[in-house]
Amino acid sequence: MSPHTGSLYYNYKGINSIVPMAVLYINLKFIVIDLGAYGRQSDGVTFTNSRFGQALENGLLCLPPPQRLPNDTTIAPHVFVGDEAFQLRSDFPRPYPRNRLEDDENIQLSPEPRKVI
């Protein structure tokens, strides 16, 4: 990145950066990628301002309706999972705060970083 990009790309770590935002399907394949957000923006702001975030907010994604869970009678919506940087919504749950649970208790919504394709 050019050293003359200005303060919008200068993040809290003191370096210039561009924020990537991606949505992955359950099989870890990318279905949405958004690049180019300013490094000084938070992940939540980057998501809210992205085309995908705007489409989600305005109900334009044509998401499937809630479905019955396997081997259960519970009806559950399809959701996106984020971390504490994202606004909590019914279609966007997030794991419990890191300081509240042990890592092994938080594994279902917050697995260790892994390689995605």
**Are 75 and 97 contained in the same domain?**
yes
Helix, coil or strand: residue 73? coil
Q: Are 8 and 39 in contact (CB under 8 A)?
A: yes
Q: What is the pLDDT of residues 46-105, one digit of tens each?
A: 888 888 888 888 989 888 899 999 999 999 888 887 777 777 888 887 766 666 666 665
Which residues form the domain of 58? Answer: 1-62
C-alpha 51/C-alpha 49 separation (Å) is 7
Q: What is the pLDDT of residues 22-55, one digit of tens each?
A: 888 777 888 888 776 666 577 778 888 888 888 8
* More confident: 108 or 89: 89
**Are 73 and 94 contained in the same domain?**
yes
Q: Are 40 and 10 in contact (CB under 8 A)?
A: yes
Helix, coil or strand: residue 59? coil
Q: What is the DSSP letter of 111?
A: P
C-alpha 27/C-alpha 35 separation (Å) is 22
**Are 11 and 50 contained in the same domain?**
yes
Q: Is residue 52 part of a domain?
A: yes
Q: Report pTM.
A: 0.61
Strands 75-76 and 67-68, sheet pairing: antiparallel
**Are 54 and 4 contained in the same domain?**
yes
CB atoms within 10 A of CB 116: 11
Q: Is residue 47 part of a domain?
A: yes
**Are 58 and 72 contained in the same domain?**
no
**Tell me, what's the pLDDT at 117?**
47
Q: Is residue 117 part of a domain?
A: no
